[in-house]
Amino acid sequence: MKNKSFCSAMLSLIVTIIVLFSFGGIIVLADETDEPEIVASGYCGAAGHEEDVSWTLDSNGLLNISGTGGIASSSSLNVWKKYQNDIKEVNIINGVTSIGYEAFYGCQSLTSITIPSSVTSIGAWAFSHCTSLASVNIAYGVSTIGIYAFEYCTSLITIQIPDSVNSIGDNAFNYCTSLKSIAIPDSVTKICDGTFENCTSLTSITLSNSVGYIGAYAFNGCSSLTSALLAALPREQELHSMLMK
């Protein structure tokens, strides 16, 4: 009888130890993943104001950018570029006023970007060749989208252009081959040359009456657009080879 009691007690003790170790392991794992580690940091302000804007990159691939002023162009971001394949998400905090030329060019692991209302311009080639970029959140405030800004963002399915935008540069969405629909707000009066060229999945376009000019090859190679949809566009507008198949 005593042996049985002893065995039962030992078994209970072993089970208790196993459970405690299990919970302990879970707690340790939770502690390790709660706070991602900062793996790199630096300044990224525009020329002459480098320290006005700073950045941190954490172990989860989140790039936080904060400060007052513009983000530098590519030529001033050499340290940042060293980590461009580790950047998965970009969060620009309110206060930053512009995104420089080629700032995120070729960040092929980047999947999402949040642009606050303080940003007024997105520079040329700013997100060009960000082939994994699927989500772009542009707040009201951006007035200019530069030339080739989102060229070859081949994972981009849709993008909401705010009413504050009045200028979309040449070839801004060239080769966005997953883009299915686009709505041009009332604030835009001109669609420049090649703006949506080679957007082969584009099936829906919403244009306002404020658009008075559509540039050469603006929708060239958009093979999913129907002739009925094209016929519905305002024909009094100046159309220059809008669809060249």
Instruction: Supply the CATH number for residue 178's domain.
Output: 3.80.10.10
The pLDDT value recorded for residue 213 is 85
Q: Is the pLDDT of residue 13 over 50?
A: no
Mean pLDDT of 91-105: 95
Which residue in this structure is represented by tokens 């005593």?
2
Say yes or no: 5 and 97 in one domain: no
Partner residues linked to 190 by β-bridges: 213
Least confident of 10-24, 57-71, 140-154: 10-24
Say yes or no: 52 and 145 in one domain: yes
Number of CB atoms found within 10 A of residue 107's CB: 26
Say yes or no: 26 and 101 in one domain: no
CB 108 within 8 A of CB 129: yes
Say yes or no: 11 and 52 in one domain: no
Say yes or no: 223 and 161 in one domain: yes
- Max Cα–Cα distance, the chain, nearest Å: 101
Say yes or no: 7 and 50 in one domain: no
Say yes or no: 74 and 142 in one domain: yes
Phi-psi region of 10 (alpha: psi -120 to 50; beta: other; left: phi over 0): alpha
The pLDDT value recorded for residue 26 is 43
83 occurs within a structural domain: yes
The pLDDT value recorded for residue 30 is 45
Best CA proximity match to 53, nearest among 4, 5, 92: 92
Q: Is the pLDDT of residue 235 over 90?
A: no
CB 191 within 8 A of CB 215: yes
According to the per-residue pLDDT averaged within each range, which of 9-18, 24-33, 35-44, 168-177 is highest?
Answer: 168-177
Domain that holds residue 80: 37-239
Say yes or no: 86 and 143 in one domain: yes
Partner residues linked to 204 by β-bridges: 181
Whole-structure pTM value: 0.80
CB 97 within 8 A of CB 117: no
Mean pLDDT of 191-219: 90
Q: Is the pLDDT of residue 129 over 70?
A: yes
Partner residues linked to 53 by β-bridges: 67
Q: Is the pLDDT of residue 24 over 60?
A: no
